[in-house]
């Protein structure tokens, strides 16, 4: 097995590369352990693994980067953990309930890792979305579970993981397929974001097309009161996300207490926009598909013309060379004129 050189391209389809990546992580962890002065703690291990990952500058597809990074980090940390002296579960004197928790966690730790995700399953296998999200949460919490062997910490971690699983996954099981795909992608991206820097600002165009996860711009415009002394005010609400067209709604407010009157209207408008957003996304995707289809034949035609032109050029050049060759072969060999005595006498 070879160590993967820095800057190498890794894709999940290439099993050999993945194996090399695992091996590299393992070897780097070994090297770190051999280094004098290296403190083998979970925190330092994580930091070192991240530093290594950044330094190695592996090239990945954007969608696969999180997964591949996860594989690397997991293998690196696993090696460090295995080298760390830890208390076995049998040595710990725990009440019956916590013992079960410990044995479950150890069982989880012993579970075979997913070769692509490099993570350990926690949820039922029936729901793939839940599985994926639980994987994310386990990734974040598992190192703590294994490294710490105190009663209290076990209980805390157990509570945390169950909370993590139950927050979004249960609510969003009945969502359409496109949304599920997005969520899975988000879930795959989450561990990277949380491990690197949570304070990163996301660009609006890269935000997911989900109402709760993207920047929503709502504008309220209060139009002037009527000329005949009426307090009724017209208000224009406009809501927008991404590069979609804004959704305008005009309402009439009694004008007695504007702030209180605006709130329910704004809620209505936002709720309407929230329900309409999936339709807008679908339309946008359809448009993008059609434009891509339109562009595809053009590009193919251009490519064809270019290749034909290139072929013609090559034909022309080959014929020219052939002609030149034939000219060279057919042309009679003319011997250089021999210097005669007459010519020599002219100059000298």
Partner 1 sequence: METTNTNTVQSDSAITEKLAVIKIEGQEFPLEAVLAEDDKMLKTVLQPHFSSVENANITREVKNGQLIVSIVKRAQHKGAAG
Chain positions contacting partner 1, by CB under 8 A? 217, 219, 221, 223, 236, 238, 240, 245-248, 250
Among 174, 190, 153, CA closest to 66: 190
Q: Tell the smallest beta-carbon distance from residue 182 to partner 1 (Å).
A: 23
Q: Shortest approach of partner 1 to residue 161 CB, angstroms?
A: 43
17 vs 234 by CB, closer to partner 1? 234
* Smallest separation, CB 213 to partner 1 (Å): 21
Instruction: Pick between residue 17 and residue 240 the one whose CB is nearest to partner 1.
Output: 240
Least Cβ distance, residue 231 to partner 1 (angstroms): 19
In whole angstroms, the minimum distance from the beta carbon of 179 to partner 1 comes to 24
**Distance of alpha carbon 208 from its chain centroid, rounded?**
12
Query: For residues 80 and 262, which CB has a smaller minimum distance to partner 1 in the complex?
Result: 262
Using CA atoms, how far residue 319 sits from 188, 328, 331, in Å, is 57, 14, 18
Q: With respect to partner 1, which residue has the nearer C-beta, 83 or 236?
A: 236
**Of 17 and 280, CB closest to partner 1:** 280
Closer residue to partner 1 in complex, CB, 224/297: 224
What dihedral do alpha carbons 107, 113, 114, 120 form, nearest 10°?
Answer: 40
**Cβ-based nearer residue to partner 1, 236 or 271:** 236
CB of residue 281 vs partner 1: minimum separation in angstroms?
A: 15
Q: How far is the CB of 197 from partner 1 (least distance, A)?
A: 31
């Amino acid at each position: 097995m070879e160590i993967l050189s820095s800057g190498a391209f890794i894709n999940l389809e290439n099993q050999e590369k993945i194996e090399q990546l695992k091996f590299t992580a393992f070897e780097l962890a070994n090297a770190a352990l051999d280094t004098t002065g290296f403190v083998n703690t979970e925190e330092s291990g994580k930091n070192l693994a991240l530093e290594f990952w950044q330094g190695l500058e592996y090239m990945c597809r954007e969608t696969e980067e999180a997964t591949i990074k996860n594989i690397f980090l997991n293998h690196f940390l696993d090696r460090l953990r295995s080298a760390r002296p830890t208390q076995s579960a049998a040595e710990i004197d725990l009440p019956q309930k916590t013992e079960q928790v410990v044995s479950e966690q150890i069982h989880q730790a012993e579970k075979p890792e997913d070769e692509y995700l490099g993570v350990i399953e926690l949820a039922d296998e029936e729901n793939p979305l839940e599985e994926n999200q639980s994987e994310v949460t386990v990734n974040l919490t598992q190192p703590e579970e294994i490294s710490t062997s105190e009663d209290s910490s076990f209980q805390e971690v157990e509570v945390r993981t169950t909370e993590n699983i139950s927050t979004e996954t249960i609510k969003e099981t009945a969502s359409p397929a496109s949304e599920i795909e997005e969520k899975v992608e988000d879930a795959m991206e989450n561990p990277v974001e949380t491990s690197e820097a949570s304070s990163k600002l996301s660009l609006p165009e890269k935000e997911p097309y989900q109402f709760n996860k993207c920047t929503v711009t709502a504008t309220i415009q209060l139009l002037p009161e009527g000329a005949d002394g009426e307090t009724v005010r017209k208000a224009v609400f406009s809501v927008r996300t991404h590069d979609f067209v804004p959704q305008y709604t005009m309402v009439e407010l009694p004008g007695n207490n504007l702030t209180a009157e605006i709130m329910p209207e704004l809620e209505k408008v936002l709720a309407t926009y929230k329900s309409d957003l999936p339709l807008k996304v679908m339309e946008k995707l359809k448009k993008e598909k059609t434009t891509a289809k339109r562009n595809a034949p053009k590009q193919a035609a251009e490519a064809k013309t270019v290749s034909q032109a290139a072929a013609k050029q090559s034909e022309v050049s080959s014929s020219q060379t052939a002609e030149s060759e034939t000219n060279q072969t057919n042309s009679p060999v003319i011997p250089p004129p021999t210097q005669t005595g007459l010519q020599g006498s002219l100059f000298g």
